[in-house]
Amino acid sequence: MFSKIKTCATTKEIWEKLFQIYEGNDDTKENKLTVAQQKYESIKMREGETMTEFDERFSAVVIELTSLGKEYSNRELALKVMRALPREWDVKMMAMHESKDLKKLELHDLFANLKAYEFELETRSEAPSTSQPTKALAATSEQCYPSTSNLQNNSAMIQCPSPLRSLGNS
């Protein structure tokens, strides 16, 4: 950076040079705005991305647009986030769309709600199942009968005169 401003004689010249480098002229600003809008329009939550990661990525694009003079309403931002989420989020999005006033919903509140829902889903998927395991029975053409000698835990055992054979290619 120093090499770009070392030839400047006054602080005013340094300021103008830095301003030109970082802000650019009108054409540069317009190009930056176009690129930022394309990022905004094409943003989608990536597979495997957490809501926190998506929030950071989305917010960075919105901040970039704001710094270039483009601002969106709360409703526009909320709808964009909802459209950017994968199909697995459709039920949550529909519920939020119906129950929330999107004009008043701040971006940070929307993401806080989505992060809480994501946490709830993760917690449910990690919790052990409380349902009873199911047992499958295979039908054979042989005569089978229930065994009363091995009754345990309310489960019955079926005995057949010959051992089970593989149902695969034999």
Rounded Cα gap, residues 56 and 46, in angstroms: 13
pLDDT on residue 9: 86
Weakest-pLDDT range from 49-53, 115-119, 164-168: 164-168
Residue 112 has pLDDT above 90, yes or no: yes
Residue 170 has pLDDT above 70, yes or no: no
pLDDT on residue 166: 46
Contacts of 114 (CB under 8 A, 6+ apart): 51, 55, 81, 85, 89, 92
Weakest-pLDDT range from 3-7, 63-67, 100-104, 127-131: 127-131
Q: For residue 36, give the H/E element and its range.
A: helix 26-42
Global confidence as pTM? 0.63
> Per-residue pLDDT tens for 15-45?
888 887 777 778 888 899 999 999 999 999 9
> Per-residue pLDDT tens for 56-79?
999 999 999 999 999 999 999 999
